[in-house]
Structure 1
Amino acid sequence: MNQTFNRTSKVRQLFHLLIPILITQLGLYAMTFFDIMMSGQYHTVDVAGVSIGSSLWTPVYMGLGGVILALTPVVSQLVGSKRTNSVPFSVIQALYLSVAIALSVLTVGTFTVNPILNMMDLEANVHQIAHDYLVALSFGIIPLFIYDTLRAFIDALGKTRVSMLITLGALPINILLNYMLIYGKLGLPELGGVGSGYATAVTYWIIAIVAIIVVIRIHPFAVYNVFQKFYRISWKEWSSFLKIGIPIGLAVFFETSIFSAVTLLMSEYDTVTIASHQIAINFASLLYMIPLSISMALTIVIGFEVGAKRLKDAREYSLIGITMALSMALLCATVLFFFREAVASIYTQDQTVITLTTHFLLYAMFFQISDALQAPIQGILRGYKDVTMTFFMSLLSYWILGLPIGYTLANFFDMGPDGYWIGLIVGLAIGAIGLATRLRFIQRTNVLQKTS
C-alpha cells in the first residue's frame, strides 16, 4: 500500500487491489460450483445431497468467516499509522481465534447436522449424501479458517495478487481431486458426491500450507516475522476482534441466509418455479462478486488512510469505489436485460424453465443497483471500524423488512414468487439508503474531530 496524491493514482491503486480480489472470489465460488456440477454429472441424487449440504454450510461459513475479516481493517490501520511492530501480535491472536471458531463449528455441527437434515424431510439417499458430504468437508474446516486469517493479513498489506495466485493454483487441484474421488480414478475409491467434500477438504489443507509458507518466506510478509515469537492468548485482543468481527459476521450471515430462507418458503411451488428461482439467484450471486470485491478492496484502502489520518483521501476513495460499483452495476443490468434468455439457457435446455428464469432475471437487475450501493459502503464502514450499523441494517433490510414484505405480497396479495423478489429488493434498497446515511454521518464526524 502506498500513499496517493491524485485521483488517477487512487483509481489505479484501487484497481490494483480489486482485480486480484475479484478473481480470488470467483475462484472460491468456482470450487463450490464444481463440487455441485461434477456431482450432478455422477448422479441426480448426489447433486441433490451436495447442494443441500452446501446450502447449509455456506451461510455458516460466510458468517463466521466475516468475523475473521476484522483482521483486515486492524492491520490496515496499524500499517497506515506506522505501528507495524503490533502487526505480528494481532495476526497470531486472529489465528488463535480462527482455530477456536473452527473447533466450535466442529463441536456444534456434530450434534446439529442430523437433526437439521431430519427437519427437511429428505429422501433417505439424499439425506445420507448431504450428511456424509458435510462430514467430509469438516476435515478441512480448521485449515480453511487458518487460510482466511492469513489471507486477511496478506490482503491488508495490499498484496491481493498473492491471494489470487494461491486460489487459482488450488482450483485445478480441486477439480482433479473431485474427478478422482467422485468417479474413483487412479486407484482411489468411488465416493460419488461425497468425494467432492473430501476433495475440497484436501484443497483447504493445501492452500493453508501454501499461505503459511508465503507468510514465512516471501517479502513483504516475511519482514513481520509473524511466526517467529510465541504469544500467549490475549483475551483482550480477542475481545477487540470480536467487537468488530461479530457484527461483520452477523451482517454477512443475514445476507447469505436470507436466500436459503426464501428458497425454503418457495418449496411450496412447482419444480419449474423452484428451478427458475434457483438459477436466477445463482447468477445474481455470481454478479454480486463484483460489488463484494470492490467492498473488500475499499476496506483495505480506507483502513490504510484512516490509520494515517488522511481523512480527505479516505473520502475520495469512498466516492471512487461507489461510483465504480454503480457503473459496473448499470453495465451488468444492461447486459442482463438484453441477454437474460442466453443466461438462462446456460443452466438448462427446458424452454419452460428458461422462460420463467428470464422473468426472474428482470428482478435480478434491480438487485445489481442496490448491491452496488450497499456492498461498497459496508466495506468503507469496515475500514473506519464502524460495523455495528452494518449489522443492524442487514437485519432490518433482509429479515425485518424484506422477508415479511415478500411473504405478505406472495401469500396475501397473490403475487406468488414475484412477491418474494419484490420484498427483497425493497428491503435491500432501504438498507442501502440507511448505510449511505450512516457513512455520511461517520465521515462528517471524523472531519469535525480532526478539526476540533
Structure 2
Amino acid sequence: MENTLSLRKKPLRLAKIVMPILITQLALYMITFFDILMTGRYDTYHLAGVTIGSSFWLPVYTGLAGILMGLTPIIAHLIGARRKDEVKFTVQQGLYVSVVLAAIVFLIIRYGVSPILASMPLEDEVRVVAADYLEAMSLGLFPLFAYTVLRCFFDALGATRVSMAIILLSAPLTIFTNYLLIFGNWGFPELGGVGAGYAAAITYWLIFFVAYGVAWKNKLFNDYQLFNIWGKISFKRWKEILFIGVPIGISIFVETSIFSAVTLMMSNYSTAVISAHQIALNFTSLLYMIPLSISMGATILVGQAVGAGQMRDAKQYSFLGVGLAIAFSFISIAILLVFREPIASLYTTDTKIIALATQFFIFAALFQFSDAIQAPVQGALRGYKDVNMTFVMAIVSYWVLGLPIGYLMATYTDLGPYGYWIGLIAGLTVGAITLTIRLIYIQKKKFA
C-alpha cells in the first residue's frame, strides 16, 4: 500500500481505483442489460419471461456472491498490514467456498424455482420462458462464483484495471451470442429468451478462464503463487470469510430482493406494466453502477487504510466517496427526467409500454440522491469490517418499511403500480440516513 497521501491527492487516488471498477461493473451489467434489451426486440412474452427469471436470479446470485465480497476487506487489511504471505491461503479458501455457494444456487434454480413459478398468476408462455432461462444460465454458475473470488483478489490489491480488462470481454461476447441464440442467426437455433440464458453461461466461462490465466501468469501476481500448492480446506478461515461475508451477502440480498419482490408482486398487473417497470428498473440499475463502484472503491481504500492504522485517511476516503456519488446523482436525475422517452424507446417499439416506462422513470429519479449516499457509506463500513448493522438496517428500511409502504400505496391509492416505487424511495431514504449515522459512530470509535 502507498504511504498516506495529502487530502488534495486523495480524490485522484479514489478516482484511479473507482474508474476501472465502474467500467467493470458496467460490463457485468451489460450481460443482463442486453438480455433484456435484445429479448424485448424479439417478443413481449419472452421479455416478460426473462424479466421474471431475472427477478429470481439477481437477488439469489448477488446475495451469495456478496458473501464472497467479504474477501475484499479481508485481503485489503492483509495488504495494508503487509501480511502478504496470508493472501494466497485466503484466496484458495475463498475458491473452496465459491464452489459450495455455486452448488447451492444451482440446486435452488433446478428444484426450487419451478414450483414458485407455477403458483404465480403468469401466462403459460411467460412461465416457461422464465424457467428455461434460469436453467440455461445456471450452467455458468461455478465459473461465475470462482471469478468473483479472483476479482476480489485483484481489487483488494488495488489492481482494479486488471478486473476491468478481463470483464470488458464479456459485453461484446454477450451481444454476439445473444444475436446467435435469441434470433437464430447463422444457422443457430432460435431460442428467444432462453438463448439469453445460454449466452450468459458462455460468457461466465470465458471471463473465469481469462481471470485464472491472469492470476496464474501475470507478473503483477507472481509473488502470490495462488495455484501452485493448494492448501487443505480450513473451516477456521471459512469462518473468517463467512463472518464478514454473510452480513454483506444478506444486506445485498435484502437490497436487491426488494426490487425483485416488487416485480413479482406486479404479476397481478398486465404484461405491459411488468415490461415497463422492468425497463425503468433496468436502466436505473445502469445508473446505480456509479455509486456502487464508488462504494467498492471506498471498501478497498478504507480497508487498506484501516489495516495500516491510518484512521484519518480512512475517514477522508469515506466522505470523499459520498461527495463524489452525490455529485453524480444530479447528473443521473437530469438524464432520467430529460431523456425518459428516448431511453424507453431503446427497449421496445410498443407505444403503450413506452408511455408507462416514462412514468416509472419519474419515480426512479426521486431515489437517486438516497442511493448516492447509502451505497458509498455501505462501502466505507465494509472497509472498517463493520457489516452487521448494515444488514440489520437493510432489513428494517426495505422490508419492514419500504415494501409495506409500497403495497399500501399501490393497493389503497390511485397510484397503482407506481405506489411500489414510493415505497422503494422511502426505504432507500431511511437506509441512507441510518447508515450515515452508523458510519460517523464507527469513525469516532476508531479514533478513540
The TM-score range, normalised by the shorter chain, is over 0.9
Partner of 2:201: 201
Give the fraction of aligned pairs with identical amino acids, expressed as a percent: 53
Q: What amino acid sits opposite 2:117 in the alignment?
A: L
Q: Does 1:431 align with 2:428?
A: no
- Structure 2's unaligned 5+ residue stretches are none
Cα shift readout 1:228-263 (whole Å, capped 9, x = no counterpart) = 122011111111111111111111111111112112
Report the Cα distance in structure 1 between the residues aligned to 2:129 and 2:357, rounded to whole angstroms. 28
Instruction: Give runs of aligned pairs for residues 374-385 of structure 1, distance below 5 A.
Output: 374-385=374-385
Instruction: Give runs of aligned pairs for residues 203-218 of structure 1, distance below 5 A.
Output: 203-218=203-218
Give the CA deviation at 1:186.
4.5
Q: 2:4 touches 2:310 (CA, 8 Å); kept in 1? A: no
Q: 1:4 touches 1:10 (CA, 8 Å); kept in 2? A: no
Mean alpha-carbon deviation: is it higher for 425-434 or for 149-158?
A: 425-434
Report the Cα distance in structure 2 between the residues aligned to 1:121 and 1:423, rounded to whole angstroms. 23
Give the CA deviation at 1:337.
3.0
Mean alpha-carbon deviation: is it higher for 163-172 or for 330-339?
A: 330-339
Mean alpha-carbon deviation: is it higher for 277-286 or for 223-232?
A: 277-286
Q: What amino acid sits opposite 2:422 in the alignment?
A: I
Moved over 6 A (4+): none
Cα pair distance change 1:17/1:395, threshold 3 Å: same
Partner of 1:243: 243
Give the CA deviation at 1:412.
3.1
Mean alpha-carbon deviation: is it higher for 193-202 or for 18-27?
A: 193-202
Report the Cα distance in structure 1 between the residues aligned to 2:271 and 2:377, rounded to whole angstroms. 37
Instruction: Give runs of aligned pairs for residues 293-442 of structure 1, distance below 5 A.
Output: 293-349=293-349, 353-442=353-442
Report the Cα distance in structure 1 between the residues aligned to 2:374 and 2:157, rounded to whole angstroms. 24
Q: What SS class does the counterpart of residue 367 from structure 2 fall into?
A: helix
Report the Cα distance in structure 2 between the residues aligned to 1:182 and 1:271, rounded to whole angstroms. 20
Cα shift readout 1:344-379 (whole Å, capped 9, x = no counterpart) = 343445555444433332222221100011000000
Report the Cα distance in structure 1 between the residues aligned to 2:110 and 2:347, rounded to whole angstroms. 34
Q: Does 1:107 align with 2:112?
A: no
Cα pair distance change 1:49/1:267, threshold 3 Å: closer
Give the CA deviation at 1:291.
0.4
Q: Does 1:262 align with 2:258?
A: no
Partner of 1:77: 77
Mean alpha-carbon deviation: is it higher for 314-323 or for 7-16?
A: 7-16
Report the Cα distance in structure 2 between the residues aligned to 1:207 and 1:417, rounded to whole angstroms. 38
Q: 2:47 touches 2:275 (CA, 8 Å); kept in 1? A: no
Give the CA deviation at 1:32.
1.3
Partner of 1:57: 57
Partner of 1:161: 161
Q: 2:49 touches 2:130 (CA, 8 Å); kept in 1? A: yes
Cα shift readout 1:162-214 (whole Å, capped 9, x = no counterpart) = 11111111221222222233344445444333222222212111111110110
Partner of 1:445: 445
Give the CA deviation at 1:34.
1.7
Q: What amino acid sits opposite 1:421 in the alignment?
A: W
- Structure 1's unaligned 5+ residue stretches are none
Cα shift readout 1:317-342 (whole Å, capped 9, x = no counterpart) = 11111110111112222343333344
Partner of 1:86: 86
Instruction: Give runs of aligned pairs for residues 133-212 of structure 1, distance below 5 A.
Output: 133-212=133-212
Q: 1:248 touches 1:387 (CA, 8 Å); kept in 2? A: yes
Mean alpha-carbon deviation: is it higher for 159-168 or for 416-425?
A: 416-425
